[in-house]
Structure 1
Amino acid sequence: MKVSDIGECQLIDQLNKLLHQGTDETTPARQNLILDIGDDAAVFRPQGYQLVTVDSLIENVHFNRSMLNWADLGYKALAINLSDIAAMGGVPQYAIVNIDLPPDTLVSSVTDCYNAMRSLADKYQTAIIAGDTNQSSLINLAVTLLGSAENPDKLLTRNTALPGQKIAVTGYLGNAAAGLDMLLNQTKVPDESREIFCRSFYRPEPRINEARLLVKEGARCCIDISDGLAADLLHILRQSRVSARIELERLPVHPSLRLCYPLQAQHMALYGGEDYELLFTAPAKVIEQISAQSGIPVTIIGEIIPGKPDELKLVDKDGRALQPEKNGWEHFKKPK
């Protein structure tokens, strides 16, 4: 059955029922929710300082239909917004979903999409409370996510890096780039590695819990890696008006990536993007405390140093300085 067979009103009714099945009413987000889907606007009682972010997944920009799995699309659309809230040290609360659909879209595809969003939202005690549906020639899934923070002085921001602090990342880098390469170029890799790469690309894990650790231990500078390590680190350097030195041998590369992409692994880790890991700065002792409590790897990869606000120094295993490439994703900019 297609969405054109039932129309917008019936589609919304189905999605509303799906989003309310087995809802845990004891979460803070639900307890502070007064009205959600069904009225002209949702109503909730705000808690603390409010964080707001929005991101979209657009057909032929972020994905194409030959690559499309509707459940993965829904998961990723919410995950990348959760990652933004994590990067600020906040707690996610409410999601608003806008979806534009061609009329021939299967209803089951849309419910697969929302089921995946609902599952991830439940994991992080986030409520999907409102949205919009529209007819379109292309698929566009946009999520606005609201979160909260108890103390604005403990937010994680991009402008608080200081010379002498170490630079660290959570998890592994480059796996999502490998997943994209497999999809675009049909690269053959062992099944175990394929699962790792595809999951990294389609279903990144938002580092909500790790970000809360950063806040607790006193870190104050952070960004999530969406456009690539090098590109996102430059955002920190420009806003904090500092320079950085990265030791390439310290980049956390998964053994499967080294095995399957021996020549490209380091490049993927540095420039690949869509890892949605946390890139942060803090004193070495703070990073040690975070690492000791984290359930995933936390790796020091370099140091903040005085210098030009956008100067990034890359050093190889022999201590030789390498020139960074002007890579990393940026909308509207023509590739060189």
Structure 2
Amino acid sequence: MNEEAPFKGFESLSELGEFGLIDQIAGLFGKGCVEDTIGIGDDCAVLPYKDGQSLLITTDMLIEDRHFRHSWISAEDLGYKSLAVNLSDISAMGGKPLYAFLSIGLPDDLTLDWVERFFRGTRELSETNGVKLLGGDTTKSPGPMVINYTVLGVMDEDSVLWRSSAKPGDQIAVLGKLGESGAGLKLLIENKSSYSSSEQAMIKSHSRPQLYVEESQFLASNSAVHAMIDLSDGIQSDAGHIAKKSGVTLQVDADRIPITSDLKQVCESYNWDSLELALSSGEDYGLLFTFDEANAGRLSDEFKQKFNIELTIIGEVKDGSPELTLLKDGDAFDIGKKGFDHFRSEKLERSDSSDPSG
């Protein structure tokens, strides 16, 4: 990028897009501002720490009516989720989360009961994962609520799972209930008075996502695993990030994408495309990673024995242009939709029934 004319050739943020904006900023500042650091361009910034370890730092923001509506999510679940999205970034690199800092802008019409329940939800997740809330900042917001966490984690410096480390010949695997969060969001938009058990499962996946903190640390400790990313924006976007950073083609077989029976049932009821949701909807917070094909059997067996979870292999890494290619029935195809982009995707409009008192 020409540092004397950053953003040249673009007329708006919507044209540039979220990830284009990140690329432009990274080009202006470089990988990091301090020697031996890795900054913009991965799930976390990585700094030298001590005794052969690296310090991981991530930050993520949730804005009312962009990421959530009060009428759609309980105070406890919002407290839980707002921390979860940051812990997921630490997990994406295989790290152990340790400390959190919260900056939050609150409208003054919130009840103290709502605020207490929000922090009880945060505490539940922090205690489960051994994370300590050490401070931050609070302020009155004249508009929507703004929640911003910064989380620090640690891991062995030789075990960091970069987006840029996928190798030709690697297998591609996923963890998580793909597409369920996207289905949960669509159900909330439907604004029904009651939901079936399968529909409730979708909404729970959206409001209180399952994390893979211990599982990610196990994967990072295994030399067969090369690259990893969390599925926050959908496979189409997130697999594309690994392809771009690693300079390889990620070839994903759509016929091997895991789709839960609950998601299939809900999609059949509403005539939704379950495969489209599994590939393009965000906020699943599962993991996508690549690993050495020669170790596929051993890694799958060890993972199943330790966590009682089956690894699902969905494709392979190939030499080629840095992009994601999708196959269905052996032929290339395009579902048309892309993953979530903050500057291109539609916002959540404020609901008339929104109740900030919780």
Aligned match of 1:33: none
CA RMSD in angstroms comes to 1.9
Distance 1:91 1:194 in 2: 32
Q: How far apart are 1:209 and its partner, in Å?
A: 0.8
How many residues matched? Answer: 288
Q: CA offsets per residue over residues 228-286 of structure 1, 9 Å max, x none? A: 01110000000000002111111010011111203411100000111000100002324
User: Are 1:260 and 2:271 counterparts?
Assistant: no
Q: How far apart are 1:302 and its partner, in Å?
A: 0.5
User: Are 1:295 and 2:308 counterparts?
Assistant: yes
Aligned match of 1:41: none
User: Are 1:305 and 2:314 counterparts?
Assistant: no
* Residues 189 and 250 of structure 1, relative CA distance in 2, 3 Å threshold: farther
Q: CA offsets per residue over residues 112-140 of structure 1, 9 Å max, x none? A: 11111011100001101102110012211
Distance 2:78 2:137 in 1: 17
User: Pick from 197, 205, 208: which aligns with 2:213?
Assistant: 208
Letter in 1 for 2:126: A
What SS does the corresponding residue of 2:115 show, helix, strand or coil?
helix
Unaligned runs of 5+ in 1: 1-44
Q: CA offsets per residue over residues 181-230 of structure 1, 9 Å max, x none? A: 10012369862212311111011122101101101222130000000011
Instruction: Tell me if the contact between 1:100 and 1:139 (Cα under 8 Å) persists in the aligned partners.
Output: yes
Instruction: Tell me if the contact between 2:165 and 2:226 (Cα under 8 Å) persists in the aligned partners.
Output: yes
User: Pick from 323, 326, 330: which aligns with 2:334?
Assistant: 323
Q: How far apart are 1:152 and its partner, in Å?
A: 1.4
Distance 2:310 2:147 in 1: 32
Instruction: Tell me if the contact between 2:167 and 2:226 (Cα under 8 Å) persists in the aligned partners.
Output: no
Distance 1:193 1:307 in 2: 41
* Residues 214 and 300 of structure 1, relative CA distance in 2, 3 Å threshold: same
Aligned match of 1:134: 139
What SS does the corresponding residue of 1:205 show, helix, strand or coil?
coil
* Residues 232 and 170 of structure 1, relative CA distance in 2, 3 Å threshold: same
Aligned match of 2:248: 242
Distance 2:50 2:57 in 1: 12
Distance 2:345 2:221 in 1: 41
Q: What is the identity percentage for the equivalent residue pairs of Structure 1 and Structure 2?
A: 36
Aligned match of 1:272: 281
Aligned match of 2:62: 57
Scaled by the length of structure 2, what TM-score is found?
0.76
Letter in 2 for 1:240: S
Letter in 2 for 1:331: H
Q: List, as ranges, runs of 4+ consecutive aligned residues in structure 1 with deviation greater than 4 Å.
A: 187-190
Distance 2:235 2:137 in 1: 34
Distance 2:154 2:145 in 1: 30
Distance 1:112 1:297 in 2: 35
Distance 1:113 1:295 in 2: 32
Scaled by the length of structure 1, what TM-score is found?
0.81
The 5 Å alignment of 1:161-176 reads 161-176=166-181
